[in-house]
A and B are shown apart, each in its own frame.
Chain A
Amino acid sequence: MNKKQKKNLIRIIIAAVMTAALHFIPVTGVLQFVLYMIVYLIIGYDILIKAFKGIKNRQPLDECLLMVIATIGAIALALYEKSGDYIEAIAVMLFYQVGEWFQSYAVGKSRKNITELMDIAPDYANIEEGNGQLTKVDPDDVEVGQIIVVRPGEKVPIDGVVVSGASSLNTAALTGESVPRDVKEGDSVISGCINLNGLIKVQTTKEFGESTVTKILELIEDASSRKSSSENFISKFARVYTPAVVISALVLAFLPPVVLLLLGKDPVFGTWLYRALTFLVISCPCALVVSIPLSFFAGIGGAGKQGVLIKGSNYLEILSETKTVVMDKTGTLTKGAFEITAIHPDGIDAEGLLHLAAHVERHSTHPIAAAIRNAYANEADDCRIEDVEEIAGHGIIAKVNGKSVAVGNGKLMEKVGAKWRECHREGTTLHVAIDGEYAGHIIIEDVIKPHSKQAIRDLKRIGVKNTVMLTGDKKQIADKVAAELSLDTVYSELLPQDKVAKVEELLSSKANEKERIAFVGDGINDAPVLKRADIGIAMGAMGSDAAIEAADIVLMDDDPLKIVSAIKISKKCLAIVKENIWFAIGIKLACLVLGAFGIANMWAAIFADVGVMILAVLNAIRCMFVKGAKPEEA
């Protein structure tokens, strides 16, 4: 609670206690009036001042002014009718203040919570002095290439490379991923991660202003200035709502009495005036106006916590309307790294075949070689490897412990005279021959990510109609992946520019403007497609500025389930926004109608008004807690 909130809370309590006390004190006449007016002033003096300023600044529709007209009108009626019922005016002010106080408190609280969710901004960087002492400096003052020290428990302030030490980093603030990432000398580290155990020295590769954490913070700060159409609708609605209510109040105050008068009946001026004043009590559109941006802000904050960065409320809205998800294959649905998927040995055991192949591939830089070496961890044993000969377009031949081992494609097998056979599996086949005798083959593939299948299924479940895969790969491989993941459509053998054309084709062929098309890519060479789609989602973008720049939504790690989380959060958030819009407008209209017929009095009106706001605000805060997609146990 800030000072202002404390002060107002005290005022509210004093006024409430005094009102209750006055109810039981048997005073009448002038004394009663004076006592009630003191309470009225305690609770409403600031509104009176604001109303006066509203007149001075020619703002006739200032809600404070309207509140003052309503309450003073009610007091005047009480005087005129000698009813002594001043409590109503005080209650209206009191509840109005309670509403304002609650709004201020709740918004302040959630503002703080949401900012804390994304509190990844480092406060300082440690620089080692000549004598070994650490000095804390402003991260802004650290130059590129300088060495900073990150102790356990501290945040990595600036992007860089570890030059000494090893540790585990908690990347949860950036990716929502709770498994720590191990780093050692030579690994790059990203700002915003928390160092868990070891002390590391990091050579910075970027300035603080260019570091990941700063980019992300900027992005979140900017997000709420890109407004959604719901927010714009509410702003427009608010602008016409107040004048409309005031005009209806005027009509209600004068038209029925005049008509009654003309018909020769009792005009009951007082009754109609009272009903008109009731209208003014609900003329403030605050409940609506506050809950909508709050919902979006909470939604964006909640998504950020799960490693989904949304660049604006408008994107959250478009994302919720996504009916087609177009995905790149490599790096999005598949790992983009080769892995061994099968070993078919001939007259030798699988381990032995892999062992030999790994030795032959020891010095090769080809990605396939890396896959084989990764699969056989103890490659550096005491086997002798000599006479390594790389034959371009064929493979490698080397002597391992005196035996000539050839590892390569069919052409190489022909060359060494081995009787080789094709494999029934898709993927890249690596044949092995020992001294000219065929020894079997190893299948290497770009493997599908573990959660891809579940992600596609979950997308369908949450209302995505069409899942499309684009790839530059061969049709055979693409079709196999598409079949395995049960994708609806697949376009293969595409050049980068063809991908843009395909997305454009899909955009122009959609039946309805509201059926949005999202494109998910890893941000490497698909920036134009990210920009072209209704909504561009970049994946695994930690550290890639181009992707953060081009995309509307950035997934901090490369788990395809995050796509599902993002859409789920957007849908939930928009559902809450719609609930709030209809709920708040509905209650207000109902109050107006009931008020016009004299069924609802001022008490009911102010109760409804404040109540709606409190409920709408609480509902909006729910956006922060939407659950993302969880991986299913296999």
Chain B
Amino acid sequence: MKKTYKIDVDCANCADKMEKAASGTPGVKECSVSFMTLKMKVEFEEGADEAAVMKQVRENCKKVEDDCEVFI
């Protein structure tokens, strides 16, 4: 299952950091963050609870870059 989320972040390096943090979140199979379109594309693992996973993704992103937002 793939889903795209809008994000907000100020710098390109931070977007890369978010991508890494989101990819490392359990339940996320693959994640790609586009700084230019401000979108996060997440592919979930089979049977993952998307809402819960995304909450964790947002938390992990906030850890690496405080000034960011993932619109779930």
Contact = CB atoms under 8 A, between A and B. Distances in A.
B39 A57 contact: no
A111 interface: yes
A63 B10 contact: no
Given A53-B66, A104-B10, A290 B34 contact: no
Interface in A123-181: none
A284 interface: yes
Contact of A59 (B16, B32, B34, B63): B63
Interface of B: 4, 10-13, 16, 19-20, 32, 34-39, 41, 63-64, 66-67
A113 B39 CA distance: 17
Interface stretch (A221-229, A328-336, A352-360, A369-377): A221-229
A284 B13 contact: yes
Contacts, number: 67
Interface residues of A, number: 30
A274 to B, nearest CB: 26
Given A224-B34, A224-B36, A297-B36, A290 B64 contact: no
B37 A221 contact: yes
B3 to A, nearest CB: 12
A122 interface: no
A225 B67 CA distance: 22
Contacts of A59: 63-64
Nearest to B33: A225
A294 B13 contact: no
Given A53-B66, A104-B10, A289 B39 contact: no
A623 to B, nearest CB: 12
Q: Is the interface of A mostly helix, strand, loop or mixed?
A: helix
B11 A100 contact: yes
Nearest to A225: B32
A185 B19 CA distance: 51
A293 B35 contact: yes
Given A50-B67, A59-B63, A286 B12 contact: yes
Q: Which 6 A-B pairs have the closest CB atoms?
A: A290-B12, A297-B36, A224-B34, A289-B12, A225-B32, A289-B13
A59 B19 CA distance: 16
B39 A63 contact: no
B64 A293 contact: no
A293 B11 contact: no
Q: Is the interface of B mostly helix, strand, loop or mixed?
A: mixed
A235 interface: yes
Contact of B10 (A54, A100, A225, A293): A100
B16 A294 contact: no
A12 to B, nearest CB: 15
A304 interface: no
Nearest to B13: A289
B12 A293 contact: yes
Interface in A42-62: 50, 53-54, 57, 59
A294 B10 CA distance: 14
A292 to B, nearest CB: 8
Contacts of A296: 36
Which of B4, B20, B36, B39 neighbours the largest number of chain A CB atoms within 10 Å of its CB? Answer: B36
Given A63-B13, A100-B10, A290 B37 contact: no
Contacts of B39: 221, 224-225
A238 interface: yes
A293 to B, nearest CB: 5
A565 interface: no
A376 B67 CA distance: 70
A296 B12 CA distance: 13
B12 A225 contact: no
A50 B36 contact: no
A212 interface: no
A294 B64 contact: no
A256 B63 CA distance: 36
Interface string A87-108: 0000000000000100110010
Contacts of B20: 239
Contacts of B12: 103, 107, 286, 289-290, 293-294
Contacts of A289: 11-13, 16
Given A63-B13, A225-B37, A289-B11, 7 more contacts: A59-B64, A224-B39, A286-B11, A289-B12, A290-B11, A290-B35, A294-B36
Given A53-B66, A294-B36, A297-B36, A235 B16 contact: yes
A444 B11 CA distance: 61
A285 B13 contact: yes
A101 to B, nearest CB: 10
Contact of B16 (A57, A224, A238, A297): A238
A103 B64 contact: no
A286 B36 CA distance: 14
